[in-house]
Every structure is written in structure tokens, then in C-alpha cells.
Amino acid sequence: MTSLAGKSVLLIVGGGIAAYKAHELVRLLKTRGATVRIILTKAAEQFVTPLSLSSLSGEKVYTSLFSLTDEIEMGHIQLSRSADLVVVAPATADLMAKMAHGLADDLASTALLATDKRVLAAPAMNVRMWSHAATERNVESLKHDGVSIVGPNEGEMACGEFGPGRMAEPNQILTAIVEMLKPRAQPLAGKKVLITAGPTREPIDPVRFISNHSSGKQGYAIAKAAAGLGAETVLVSGPVSLPIPPGVQVMPVETAQEMLDICEGEIPVDIAIFTAAVADWRVVTESSEKLKKTGGAAPNLTLAENPDILATIARSAKRPRIVVGFAAETEHVTEHAVQKLEKKGCDLIVANDVSRTSGVFGGDRNTVHLVSVSGVEDWPNMSKDEVAQKLMERLAQMLVPQQKAVE
């Protein structure tokens, strides 16, 4: 039984019939030695009482945003920051909608918006509410913001309907909590990782450019994983609309030349990973004025090849110890990747199929093949976050072989 001694959990109880299970969850957490502070929403007070929960937790239960004594004893900001983990159980449809939209109109939602800690939500609601498009959107947004979700389970509901929507059992929630509170190995502490991501934009005139469909998602996920393993992480990013991962330094760029200049300024590094979909060509002479239609022939754009950022860094005097390239291919995926490994001088190529039917560009999943001199390793279809985590753990092992990446 993993001890949670010294760990502090902020449990936010939403107003649903499953709120009664909060008692058992508090009991389990206390058995493991955790400190449990509890916030009840107004609706939750209709299902459970502060008295019963404070008897179990041995702590004051918080209910109101505007209680002066609470602000003196422990303000709502501190309440959310002093915890190691915030758990929302039950996470009602209403509470999740508030979380997804950043509303802060009561103590629970304010604490959730103010926290800098990881958040675990255990949804509980009627089956139709759970499958409603609005809830699906909200769950997606929460996952995107890094909120972990446990459950819901399928089964008979308090309202008599059957389907997914029952809150995960306290034991399941406890398992998820233990997993999230596990000390994380930091095998890349003291190491520097450089990552390129997103597309580049090569200007034609002040309003037009050459670019591509890269979303930057895989590169951002790798940066998040690298920072999570303790690396000083620099992400040189073309224009994308993604949040900056925690602990990552982002250097925004537009063109391939700018991306190369920044990368050259950042080396030496321990690991460099080139996920950017660099535009292969740029327009030789960018027009300083918007090109106008003349009613006749279309303008002729003279293109020049962009510098190869990966090959330049891989062959530089300050070569990173490990250089990883990505190969975006639409056919003969691994064959092309094997050629690129040699041509670009890198240690590893992560090859992926970006044909229209693969859904890789802009999608959240990826099927990759790891190509090195020792052969090709096919990875199963995974989320881009999982690919990132697995790749960074592998690179950490290559860099620091005596250490196991994850304990």
C-alpha cells in the first residue's frame, strides 16, 4: 500500500448524488496518511454536510468564498496552492463547464482557476448529460488544459437510466491519485533539450506566405515531456495556436532562416529534436507591397531552397550529443526515413505517415516508426502525448544509460 504521508489533497465536492462517495474517498486518503482539505459547492451541501466531512478529514471544510475568517486562516489562493493535487469528485456537468470556461463565481471554481497544481476530475452525471456535445467539448478542453479524468463508469444511475455517467468508485479515484502523486524521476535534470516545432512561414508579400498544415502538437508534446523529465527545454516554434507547456521556454519564429539562427544560438545542447515542418522553399525576393492582379499573367515567383536546419545543426562543430529528426512522409514511410537518417546525419528518425487519410496533421494521435542504424521499431498508434513521453524516456536512457528513466 503506497503511503501518501506528507501529501496534501484538496478535494472539491460538486453537487450530485455521487457526493456521498466523497466520505469513502476521504477515509481512504486518510488511511494512506494524506492531509485532505475539502471545499463543498453550494449544491454539494444539499447532498453532504460540512460536519460529516470535517469529522472524517479532521480539517475544517470550506464552503464560502466570502468568509472573512477563512481568508484570515487560509485564503482561497493558498488553499488551492498548498495542496499537492486538486481532486474534483464528483465533477458535475456544471462544475466541469465552469472549469472549462475559467469561471470563478464561488469558492470551488475560484480555487480551480487559481491553482498551479495538477487537477484530477471524476465526472458524475446523467448519461445524456455526459454524452451531450457541450459536455464532450468541455471534457476535451479540460484534457487539453492538462486536467486528468478518471471514469465515469457505466451502470445503473440514480435517475433510473443506464449508461456511462456513474462516478468512478472511491478505490479507482484513489488509484489515480496515488499514480499522480508518485514522485517523478528527473533523469534529464541539468541537461538541455532543443526542439523545433510547427510550420515556418515564408513571406511572398506583406499579406501572403508559403506555409503548411503543421499544427505543432507533436513538438509541443515533446517539449512538455522533456520539461517533465527535468530538462532545460527550449522550443523554437513557428506560428501555432497552442498553449506554452509548463517549464518550457518558447522562442517564436516565422521563417526557416529565423528558426536556424535561433537554433544555432542555442547550441550546444544535449539533445536536439527537429519536429518542425520547415517550408522547403522561400520566395527569393519578398515584395514590399501587396502583389496586385494585373488582369493578365499571374506573377512568377522565384523560389530558393531553405537551409536544412536539422542537417546544419547535426553537422556543426557544436553538434548535440543526440540529434533526432522527424520524417513526414506520404508513401514508403520507413524507406524514406532510412535515407534521411544518413542524409541528414542524425541518430534517430521518427517517421510518420502524414498522408491525408492518416489524420496526423492537426490530429491528436500518431503512429510512428523509430529508425536508427540498428533498425526500425514500429510503435503502436498512440496519443501524441504518449509518443512524446515514450520518446523522451528513450532519449534520456540513451543520454544517461546508467539511470533508469522512470522508476
Burial of 373 (0-12, 13-18, 19+ CB in 10 A): exposed
Task: Please name every residue paired with 282 in a beta bridge, in sequence order, or none if there are none.
Answer: 304
* Minimum CB–partner distance for residue 111 and ligand CTP (Å): 41
Instruction: Note whether 22 binds ligand CTP by CB under 6 A.
Output: no
Return the residues of window 267-286 that contact ligand CTP according to CB under 6 A. 274-276, 278, 280
Out of 57, 63, 237, 306, which residue is the one contacting ligand CTP (CB under 6 A)?
306
Residue 300 and residue 249 in contact, taking contact as beta carbons nearer than 8 Å? no
**Contact string (CB under 6 A) for ligand CTP, positions 152-191, x = contact:** ----------------------------------------
**269 versus 328: smaller Cβ distance to ligand CTP:** 328
What lies within 8 Å, CB to CB, of 196 at 6+ separation is: 219, 235, 236, 237, 259, 263, 273, 274, 275, 276, 278, 309
DSSP string, 144-185: HTT-EE--PEEEE-TTS-EEEEEPPPHHHHHHHHHHHHSPPP
Instruction: Note whether 361 binds ligand CTP by CB under 6 A.
Output: no
Among residues 134, 158, 159, 189, the one annotated as catalytic is 159
Active site residue 159: yes
Instruction: Note whether 256 binds ligand CTP by CB under 6 A.
Output: yes
How far apart are alpha carbons 397 and 395 in whole angstroms?
A: 5
* Minimum CB–partner distance for residue 329 and ligand CTP (Å): 6
Residue 23 and residue 50 in contact, taking contact as beta carbons nearer than 8 Å? no
What lies within 8 Å, CB to CB, of 113 at 6+ separation is: 102, 103, 104
Out of 147, 204, 309, 391, which residue is the one contacting ligand CTP (CB under 6 A)?
309
Within 10 angstroms of residue 398's Cβ, the number of other Cβ atoms is 16
Buried b / exposed e over 271-289, threshold 16 CB at 10 Å, is bbbbbbbbbeebbeeebee
Binding segment toward ligand CTP, per CB under 6 A, in 223-231, 295-303, 308-316, 373-381? 308-316
Residue 53 and residue 40 in contact, taking contact as beta carbons nearer than 8 Å? yes
Binding segment toward ligand CTP, per CB under 6 A, in 67-75, 154-162, 184-192, 325-333? 325-333
* Minimum CB–partner distance for residue 321 and ligand CTP (Å): 17
Instruction: Note whether 220 binds ligand CTP by CB under 6 A.
Output: no
What lies within 8 Å, CB to CB, of 189 at 6+ separation is: 230, 231
Out of 180, 325, 347, 366, which residue is the one contacting ligand CTP (CB under 6 A)?
325
Instruction: Note whether 266 binds ligand CTP by CB under 6 A.
Output: no
**54 versus 212: smaller Cβ distance to ligand CTP:** 212
* Minimum CB–partner distance for residue 232 and ligand CTP (Å): 21
* Minimum CB–partner distance for residue 215 and ligand CTP (Å): 14
Angle of helix 21-31 relative to helix 50-57, nearest 10 degrees? 10
Residues near ligand CTP, by CB under 6 A: 196, 256, 274-276, 278, 280, 306, 308-310, 325-328, 340, 344
- What amino acid positions are annotated as catalytic residues? 159
